[in-house]
């Protein structure tokens, strides 16, 4: 017997809130960097430090995998990851600005140490949260990725409410009585002061944020606590849920084949939350995972995450800022919003053809290549200073991230048929892809300075 509709909707909400806690901590730190660099001695070297810390955060999945092997349980690692995230962010809120002298130079030791702890938590979530979804029907996996999209969208919305990076361009020789109340920052929302002509040298005047970085981190802490509470709600709900996973029901509701949608690790009519079989069916699932189709799905998942989590974020500012802070603002917010929208689309229409998903990935790569070219040509890419240039760069970011998000949801839904083994492999593929993408871009952006950033209120493209 199917679960009541209200209970099903509530379960979807819990799953989304549970997944929201996966990467919201690191995403929150990234969007708050324009505020942090004003007070921390590392300045704008912080993004490079953070990239390295996230890369070393891959020690987290190794530790969690070893723990899972030794304990033969999955609830303990998930709770440990959530506890590390909540405690780490709760400590970051009051301690982020503390500076300690080391080798005669001041360093934000507390911030860097806690950021590393949060990177461990976020990286480990890919190999703990996703395998847990094998206890739920495939449709709930789309809610899971919707929640992961919210882990990027909510910090962006919070940063907008904070007013990060509001600035005005004013003549360099014109005194402004408000200058004393303004602080250096960077971010969206550039404007020219009323009545001031843009001719002549201009300098940026930066406004103070509406609330502090500590308040921002406390809000993120509360969201992490909500995510942990949602997981506990799932544990209470699943044993008493009567929803069943049968090939016929899933196929009728979504047009799936039994091989793609019904988990071979669960018998027809078995309740959600029932432990997986340990022997013959698990071996069959692992065998299917090692097939050409399984390898292609995992490779596709790793490649898309290498682009969306490693390569593209590192060049977003270079590709957008030449067109203005408003273009950068729209690309960040709408790009983050495209991921939840792609998950909603996957709930209604899920594409299951491997060649078709490959074609969608190529389409996303086309838009990604366009923004990469714009970043390489920064600070003077084509159509700079025109509305057409703004529309093209924003639309390219939205379509690129939205397409890749849809591919990730579709591929993960297909891998769901292999049960926990396949979803664990999916989490590992996601993490390896993200790591390789970040490592590939770190030398070009932080060491060799291949990309060049535009400057606020400065026309760098005039002859």
122 token code pair: 């976020």
* Nearest one of 393, 412, 394, 392 to 304, comparing CA atoms: 412
Furthest-apart CA pair in the chain: how many Å?
78
What is the DSSP pairing of strand 167-171 with strand 100-102? unpaired
- C-alpha span between 389 and 382 (Å, rounded): 7
Ranges of each domain in the chain:
1-141+161-171+205-238, 291-457
Distant-in-sequence, close-in-space partners of 366: CB < 8 Å, separation ≥ 6? none
For the chain, 463 residues long, give each residue's pLDDT as a single digit of tens.
Answer: 344 466 788 999 999 999 999 989 998 998 888 888 888 888 767 777 787 788 788 778 777 777 766 666 778 889 999 999 999 999 999 999 999 888 788 889 999 999 999 999 998 888 889 888 888 888 898 899 889 889 988 998 898 888 876 777 777 765 554 443 334 333 334 444 444 445 567 777 777 888 899 999 999 999 999 999 999 999 988 764 343 333 334 333 444 434 334 333 333 333 444 444 444 445 455 546 677 888 899 999 999 989 988 888 888 888 988 888 788 888 888 888 888 888 888 878 888 888 999 999 999 999 999 999 999 998 899 998 899 999 999 999 999 999 999 999 999 888 887 777 888 888 888 888 888 888 888 788 777 778 887 777 777 777 6
């Amino acid at each position: 017997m199917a679960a009541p509709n209200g209970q099903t909707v509530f379960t979807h909400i819990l799953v989304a809130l549970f997944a929201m806690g996966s990467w919201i901590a690191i995403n929150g730190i990234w969007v708050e960097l324009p505020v942090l660099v004003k007070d921390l001695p590392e300045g704008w070297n912080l993004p490079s430090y953070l990239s390295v810390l996230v890369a070393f955060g891959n020690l987290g999945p190794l530790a969690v995998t070893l723990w899972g092997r030794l304990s033969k349980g999955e609830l303990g690692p998930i709770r440990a990851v959530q506890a590390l995230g909540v405690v780490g962010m709760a400590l970051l809120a009051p301690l982020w600005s503390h500076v300690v002298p080391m080798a005669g130079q001041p360093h934000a030791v507390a911030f860097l140490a806690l950021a590393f702890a949060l990177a461990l938590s976020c990286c480990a979530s890919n190999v703990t949260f996703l395998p847990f979804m094998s206890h739920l029907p495939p449709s709930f996996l789309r809610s899971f990725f919707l929640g992961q999209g919210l882990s990027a969208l909510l910090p962006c919305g919070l940063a907008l409410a904070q007013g990060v990076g509001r600035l005005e361009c004013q003549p360099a020789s014109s005194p402004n009585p408000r200058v004393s109340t303004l602080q250096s920052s960077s971010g969206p929302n550039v404007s020219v002061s009323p009545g001031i002509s843009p001719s002549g040298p201009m300098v940026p005047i930066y406004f103070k944020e509406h609330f502090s970085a500590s308040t921002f981190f406390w809000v993120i802490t509360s969201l992490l606590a909500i995510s942990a509470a949602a997981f506990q709600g799932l544990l209470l709900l699943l044993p008493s849920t009567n929803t069943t996973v049968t090939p016929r029901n899933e196929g009728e509701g979504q047009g799936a084949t039994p091989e793609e949608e019904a988990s071979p690790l669960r018998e027809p009519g078995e309740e959600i939350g029932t432990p997986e079989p340990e022997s013959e069916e698990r071996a069959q699932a692992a065998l299917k995972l090692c097939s050409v189709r399984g390898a292609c799905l995992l490779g596709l998942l790793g490649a898309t995450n290498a682009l969306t989590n490693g390569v593209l974020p590192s060049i977003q500012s270079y590709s957008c800022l030449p067109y203005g802070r408003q273009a950068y603002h729209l690309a960040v917010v709408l790009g983050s919003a495209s991921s939840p929208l792609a998950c909603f689309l996957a709930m209604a229409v899920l594409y299951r053809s491997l060649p078709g998903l490959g074609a969608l990935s190529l389409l996303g790569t086309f838009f990604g290549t366009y923004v990469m070219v714009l970043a390489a040509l920064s600070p003077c890419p084509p159509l700079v200073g025109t509305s057409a240039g703004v529309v093209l760069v924003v639309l390219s970011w939205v379509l690129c991230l939205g397409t890749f998000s849809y591919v990730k949801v579709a591929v993960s839904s297909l891998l769901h048929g292999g049960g926990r083994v396949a979803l664990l492999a999916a989490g590992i593929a996601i993490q390896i892809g993200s790591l390789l993408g970040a490592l590939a871009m770190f030398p070009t952006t932080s060491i060799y300075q291949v990309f060049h950033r535009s400057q606020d209120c400065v026309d760098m493209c005039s002859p």
